[in-house]
């Protein structure tokens, strides 16, 4: 669940951002955005997803592995301890998936996967050898999950997780940690309270815990479960973002923000809030700093605990086209392109400096519903 808790807040955070020096800590790579699922709420392939506007192009475009490796080498030459999140689409459909992961490991970079879990079984040994965390999407007990992600997908994913757990146990391996993420949407929110019991029923011999943002590593587990609110915006706020980007940063934005637009969110927020509080209490998690889910869904304008974003000082996002951005979900302010520019040109370039300068004093209209503001307290 997302948290208001950050070590720094309000004026202290504003002051901190003014003095921040860029230091790369994380890269998020979308080497392709191909996906074998069509989850209804997905901002890429879902009902209002941006990829549907140009599906053939999105399917065709995959990052050239030689170019990507060259860029990774440039990053590794001047940075240590960079964590890499690999996502998509479905990351295991990227044609050079194993070569990419192996290369990152050869540069001592830790690899974290965001995956729909459908293709794990073919790669169990590879994942055990190379990946730190597999973050797998399960959007509720079987009937809810299957309604969102396709008939039969709950059983496929659970079978895959079971196989991974068994092989880890057999080989006495700690990695990859397995984390399950449920996005709370109108289709499934009433089943939030049934997710952990249904997983405990399915994985009878495994220890399943609720992810505790304040104490993420305290409890022994085989599987950690996390709930995330739906990222969303309204048409008005999205349009205001597009206008702001044009006026202040001279950028014509992509259609990506439209993938987050929800005219109305059909969720009984008081019902969901109570259920979540019951779940947190039952699982022994202190939720006093968590984002209030009722406020989150009912007023798009409110900003929660962390009022400023520091991601552009610590993170790069590489998309399937080679374009590099500072924002994870919004491919709008382009810093450069790895086919044409070196890491140094991108990270230390004028465009990156201009964007960071703008964020020192202003937030973008989409920032208040971005994961980078609500991520765990210790991220960055
Ligand atoms: C885009 S997916 C890519 C990884 C993989 N295909 C998967 O489904 O996990 C990354 C995460 O974003 C979530 N997601 C997609 N659309 C979202 C939205 N509008 N709000 C919040 N999370 C969303 C997915 O559920 C998943 O946990
Ligand atoms: S599996 Fe992931 S990328 Fe694919 S449609 Fe679902 S949420 Fe989107």
User: For ligand 1, is residue 137 a contact (CB within 6 Å)?
Assistant: yes
Local confidence pLDDT in tens for the 380 residues of the chain: 666 655 666 777 888 888 999 999 999 999 999 999 999 989 899 988 888 888 898 888 999 999 999 999 999 999 999 999 999 999 999 999 999 999 999 999 999 999 999 999 999 999 999 999 999 999 999 999 999 999 999 999 999 999 999 999 999 999 999 999 999 999 999 999 999 999 999 999 999 999 988 777 888 999 999 999 888 899 999 999 999 999 999 999 999 999 889 888 899 999 999 999 999 999 999 988 888 899 999 988 887 767 788 899 999 999 999 999 999 999 999 999 999 999 999 999 999 999 999 999 898 999 888 888 876 545 55
What is the distance of C-alpha 171 from the center of its chain?
A: 29
Write down the pLDDT at residue 213: 80
Can you give the pLDDT at residue 3? 67
Query: Strand 323-325 and strand 315-318: pairing?
Result: antiparallel
Ligand 1 pocket, 32 CB below 6 A?
A: no
Ligand 2 first shell, C-beta below 6 A: 35, 37-39, 42, 44-45, 88-90, 116
Please tell me the pTM assigned to this model: 0.95
pLDDT score at 6: 59
Q: How far apart are CA 79 and CA 267, in angstroms?
A: 44
Tokens 């809810």 locate to 144
Residue 168, preceding peptide bond in cis (omega within 30° of 0): no
Ligand 1 lined by 102 (C-beta under 6 Å)? no
Give 217-235 as a DSSP string. Answer: TSS--SEEEEEEEPP-B-H
Nearest CA to ligand 2 atom 3: 89
Q: For the CA atoms of the chain, what is the radius of gyration?
A: 20
* Maximum alpha-carbon separation in the chain: 58
Question: Whose Cα sits closest to atom 7 in ligand 2?
Answer: 42
Do strands 323-325 and 336-337 pair parallel, antiparallel, or not at all (unpaired)? antiparallel
Using CA atoms, how far apart are residues 135 and 140, in angstroms rounded to an integer?
A: 15
User: Comparing C-alpha atoms, which of 285, 309, 215 is closest to residue 20?
Assistant: 309
Q: Which residue has the tokens 């003014």?
A: 18
User: What is the best residue among 42, 230, 320, 371 to mutate for testing ligand 2's pocket, by most ligand atoms within 8 Å of CB?
Assistant: 42
User: Residue 54: its pLDDT value, please?
Assistant: 85
Q: Which atom of ligand 1 is nearest to the CA of 136?
A: 9
Residue 29 Cβ < 6 Å to ligand 1: no
Which atom of ligand 1 is nearest the CA belonging to 42?
16
- HEC readout, 152-209: CHHHHHHHHHHHHHHHHHHCCCCCCEEEEEEEECCCCHHHHHHHHHHHHHHCCCCCEE
In short, whether 343's Cβ falls inside 6 Å of ligand 1 is: no
Is the Cβ atom of 154 under 6 angstroms away from ligand 1? no
Q: How close is the Cα of 329 to the center of ligand 1, in Å?
A: 10
Closest C-alpha among 249, 233, 248 to residue 329: 233
Tell me which residue has its CA closest to atom 23 in ligand 1: 42
What pLDDT score was predicted for residue 376? 56
Per residue in 194-223, is it b (16+ CB within 10 Å) or e — as a string? bbbebbeebbeebebbbbbbbeeeeeebbb
Residue 107: per-residue pLDDT: 98
Binding site membership of 118 for ligand 1 (Cβ less than 6 Å): no
């Amino acid at each position: 669940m997302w948290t208001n808790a950050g070590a720094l807040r309000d004026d202290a955070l504003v002051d901190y951002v003014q003095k921040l020096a860029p230091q790369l800590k994380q890269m998020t790579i979308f080497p392709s955005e191909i996906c074998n699922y069509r989850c209804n709420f997905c901002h890429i392939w879902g009902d209002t997803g941006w990829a549907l506007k140009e599906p053939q192009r999105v399917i065709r475009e995959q990052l050239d592995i030689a170019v990507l490796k060259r860029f990774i080498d440039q990053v590794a030459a001047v940075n240590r301890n960079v964590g890499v999140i690999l996502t998509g689409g479905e990351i295991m459909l990227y044609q050079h998936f194993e070569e990419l992961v192996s290369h990152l490991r050869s540069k001592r970079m830790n690899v974290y996967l965001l995956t729909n879990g459908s293709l794990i079984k073919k790669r169990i040994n590879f994942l055990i050898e190379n990946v730190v965390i597999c973050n797998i999407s399960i959007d509720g007990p079987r009937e809810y999950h299957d309604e969102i992600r396709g008939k039969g997908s709950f059983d496929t994913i659970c079978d895959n997780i079971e196989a991974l757990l068994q092989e880890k146990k057999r080989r006495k391996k700690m990695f990859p940690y397995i984390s399950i993420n449920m996005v709370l949407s109108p289709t499934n929110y009433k089943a939030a309270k049934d997710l952990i019991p249904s997983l405990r029923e399915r994985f009878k011999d495994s220890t399943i815990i609720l992810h505790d943002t304040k104490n993420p590593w305290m409890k022994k587990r085989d599987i950690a479960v996390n709930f995330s609110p739906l990222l969303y915006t309204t048409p008005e706020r999205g349009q205001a973002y597009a206008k702001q980007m044009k006026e202040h940063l001279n950028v014509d934005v992509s259609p990506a923000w439209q993938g987050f637009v929800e005219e109305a969110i059909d969720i009984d927020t008081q019902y969901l809030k109570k259920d979540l509080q019951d779940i947190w209490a039952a699982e022994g998690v202190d939720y006093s700093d968590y984002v209030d889910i009722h406020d989150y869904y009912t007023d798009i304008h409110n900003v929660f605990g962390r009022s400023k974003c520091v991601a552009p000082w610590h993170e790069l996002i590489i998309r399937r086209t080679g374009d590099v951005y500072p924002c994870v979900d919004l491919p709008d302010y382009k810093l450069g392109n790895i086919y044409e520019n070196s890491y140094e040109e991108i990270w230390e370039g004028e465009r990156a400096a201009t964007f960071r300068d703008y964020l020192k004093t202003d937030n973008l209209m989409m920032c208040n519903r971005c994961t980078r503001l609500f991520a765990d307290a210790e991220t960055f």
